[in-house]
Chain A
Amino acid sequence: RKEVEQDPGPFNVPEGATVAFNCTYSNSASQSFFWYRQDCRKEPKLLMSVYSSGNEDGRFTAQLNRASQYISLLIRDSKLSDSATYLCVVNRVSSASKIIFGSGTRLSIRP
């Protein structure tokens, strides 16, 4: 079983829709969590950190559920430009070598 798992998708949704996807992690010692965005043939870029209390950045909301060991990303009022692969990242603060990337969820927004 992978330490970090994501549904690969693709999620194909119409513009303006709300879409959400989860990422599960297996190691309960994991301490920090992030969502990265990767456009086709580009490098990953940080989208947002995920805090215990949840956090929101415009149309994007990230949540952490420690009891069930998953994080989620919600995108409201989706735009064509949101089409990308979203990577879930989990790490233990004490060890830089334990930064684990999920394999990503592909999102495609159609007009």
Chain B
Amino acid sequence: DVKVTQSSRYLVKRTGEKVFLECVQDMDHENMFWYRQDPGLGLRLIYFSYDVKMKEKGDIPEGYSVSREKKERFSLILESASTNQTSMYLCASSRPGQGIGETQYFGPGTRLLVL
């Protein structure tokens, strides 16, 4: 079974704080993703990485950065947290598909509240 873990289930931070969200997967997957999920908006891709030290912006990268120093670990960084970054953050991983797309495996999510 693929396992994707996230460092925290719940986080409360103050405006302006630097926030680190960690994600680890144990299936040697090349691709890793960070999403945020908000009511009525679904999952929106923040960043993804297809290899160590490689990253690409998703749909909403502003205010976020990422780090992938090891294949199994993908970190999301909020440089200066703001209240509009209060959300559920979901990490996912996948192996590039064989012509049929990619199945993503999600972590349990981190509920972040920025006060």
A residues contacting B by CB (< 8 A) are: 4, 8, 31-34, 42-46, 49, 87, 91, 93, 96-97, 99, 101-104
Contact = CB atoms under 8 A, between A and B. Distances in A.
A97 B42 contact: no
9 closest A-B pairs by CB = A32-B101, A103-B42, A43-B106, A101-B43, A101-B42, A46-B103, A44-B106, A97-B56, A43-B108
B106 A103 contact: no
Given A42-B108, A43-B108, A45-B106, A93 B41 contact: no
Given A42-B108, A44-B43, A97 B102 contact: no
Interface in B64-115: 90, 94, 96-97, 99-109
Contacts of A96: 31, 33, 48, 50, 56, 94, 96, 102
A102 B43 CA distance: 7
Contact of A43 (B33, B100, B107): B107
Interface string B21-63: 0000000000101010000111111001010000011100000
A87 B56 contact: no
Chain A CB within 10 Å — which of B33, B40, B57, B106 has the most?
B106
A87 B42 contact: yes
Contacts of B102: 32, 91, 93, 96, 99
Contacts of A99: 33, 45, 102, 104
A42 to B, nearest CB: 7
A8 B90 CA distance: 20
Given A44-B90, A97-B48, A102-B42, A91 B108 contact: no
6 contacts: A31-B101, A32-B102, A42-B109, A96-B94, A99-B33, A101-B44
Contacts of A49: 100-101, 103
Chain A CB within 10 Å — which of B58, B90, B101, B104 has the most?
B101
